[in-house]
Amino acid sequence: MIQLYWKNATAAVVGQEHGLSPAELAAGEQQVMAAHAAVMGQVARGELGYVKLPTHPQYASQVKVLAEKHRPGTTDLVVLGIGGSALGNIALQSALNPTTYNLLSDRKRPGPRLFVLDNVDPAMVNDTLKFIGRRLKTTLFNVISKSGETAETASQFMIFREFLRKKLGDAFASRIVATTDSQKGTLHDIAREDGYDTLEVPSDVGGRFSVLSPVGLFSAAMCGIDIDALLAGANAMRQRVESTEFRSNPAAVLAAVKYLAYAEKSKPMHVMMPYSNRLYMLADWYRQLWAESLGKSADRDGREVFAGPTPIKALGTTDQHSQVQLYREGPNDKLVVFLEVAKHPAEVRVPDVFADVPGLTYLRRAKLSKLLNAEKTATEYALAVSHRPSVTIKFDAITPPSVGEFMFLYEFTTSLMGELLNIDAYDQPAVELGKQATFALMGRDGYNDMVKAIKPFTRTDKRYLV
């Protein structure tokens, strides 16, 4: 089970100016529980599709059927997706499989090597094409797109589909699994025409909330992750965050601390700092969830608000040597969320050497887990001394249940923050404009007017080129 420890965000630790006083917390509790009632009303009306994912009756079983079908004949799995169609896959793989997973032999790995192509960098795509060319007959491609028209994923799909078709002929379709809308859309229609195996992108779940759907579950299941345990953890957290008792509801408390830090204490920067390399990509996943959900120019009443805490990722202990100087002595505008692990997936002990070197004797026979967690506590203490608030999410261990708990905790906290900020946490209009501009620049029909608007930006004014 994961737990939230929030004492170091209070005035008792970091002072009244930057920490939360009992009176502020009492007022915040009322605001958060009103937001909680609103979110639970949305849940009751079936408006929040992601809440149903941990107990969905079909998704996990459909994923397992396809994984069992494809895993025996697959040495490499390539996921084509971007944003919510990629970050969850990466986060699950990084957290729940060894760092060296792709370097293990086919015999020792629990599934295929995993490559998630979350960009259209031509060098990355070309390197992947070259690498898998020797194993194409045993490579499976999972293309993930609700519509099939997102430029990045669509271009990747077109490249790899043609690569497969030329090399494998009529058998190419057996090496593609499409995760897309179950009823309509460009990718849906192509998948039906070509004859791919398909999984569903839920129509009522936005991409950044979709990790616990087939979008994230398929690659996890293919790579040997226990998706039933992952979903069980998410469901356990779902039950905890539905509580109307503020102090026993981790999402309510986390939302209160984050909202009050942002709205009352001038802390618009929200850092996530895992003290575990395994959990580092969870911080990447969090950045999209937080930024795309909460960064809005207008509230639901149409008023201009320019809302949204800025999510930042850092890694302990690495970023103690690159960012903590700024966090302690720069602007006091940050709330730090530490991720701490009680029992790490493996242990290494420092050997009993250099007994005659005074500066190293304290490290002899020390466990690296003890050193890592000491570094976290030291950073926590140093921030508090500088009146910088923090909270800690404590993992008993990095397991499928605990990762499922974490993901659902942050999804639900995001919903609460949307209510507190009075914004729509489920749309992304600014992202859509960028997509449309890309269509225009790439010559898609119907975007001629936008081409004209963009044209001044395509010319380089040499007066500003140095």
Alpha carbons 423 and 299: distance in angstroms, whole number: 4
Cα dist. 350→114, 363, 369 in Å? 32, 7, 11
Same topology between domain 2-42+230-421 and domain 52-227: yes
Beta 2-5 vs 390-397: how paired, if at all?
antiparallel
Phi/psi at 298 (5° precision)? -130, 150
What residue spans define the domains of the chain?
Answer: 2-42+230-421, 52-227
Catalytic residue among 130, 166, 321, 462: 321
Q: Let me know: does 278 contact 406? Beta carbons within 8 Å.
A: no
Kindly report, residue by residue over 342-368, the tens digit of the pLDDT.
999 999 999 999 999 999 999 999 999
Q: To 5 degrees, how large is the angle CA 235–CA 236–CA 240?
A: 115
70 assigned to active site: no
Beta 334-343 vs 296-298: how paired, if at all?
unpaired
Kindly report, residue by residue over 405-455, the tens digit of the pLDDT.
999 999 999 999 999 999 999 999 888 888 888 998 898 998 888 888 888
* pTM, 2 dp: 0.96
Cα dist. 363→353, 354, 355, 377 in Å? 9, 9, 10, 17
Q: Extract the tokens encoding 137.
A: 């007959």
Q: Extract the tokens encoding 173.
A: 């379709």
* Farthest CA pair distance, the chain: 76
Catalytic residue among 292, 340, 405, 419: 292
Amino acid sitting at position 368: L
Amino acid sitting at position 246: F
Alpha carbons 338 and 345: distance in angstroms, whole number: 18
In 286-348, beta strands by DSSP E: 296-298, 304-307, 310-313, 334-343
Q: Extract the tokens encoding 39.
A: 């979110």
* Residue 60 pLDDT: 97
Which listed CATH number (3.50.50.60, 1.10.10.10, 3.40.50.300, 3.40.50.10490) goes with 2-42+230-421? 3.40.50.10490
Cα dist. 217→3, 54, 85, 96 in Å? 24, 11, 11, 13
292 assigned to active site: yes
Q: Could you say which residues of the chain have pLDDT below 70?
A: none
* Residue 455 pLDDT: 85
Kindly report, residue by residue over 314-328, the tens digit of the pLDDT.
999 999 999 999 999
Which CATH fold topology does 52-227 show?
Rossmann fold (3.40.50)
> 144 - beta bridge partners?
179
242 assigned to active site: no
Kindly report, residue by residue over 112-131, the tens digit of the pLDDT.
999 999 999 999 999 999 99
| Structure-token match 């992952």, residue found | 230
* Residue 134 pLDDT: 87
| Structure-token match 């999984």, residue found | 199
- Helix, strand or coil for residue 21? coil
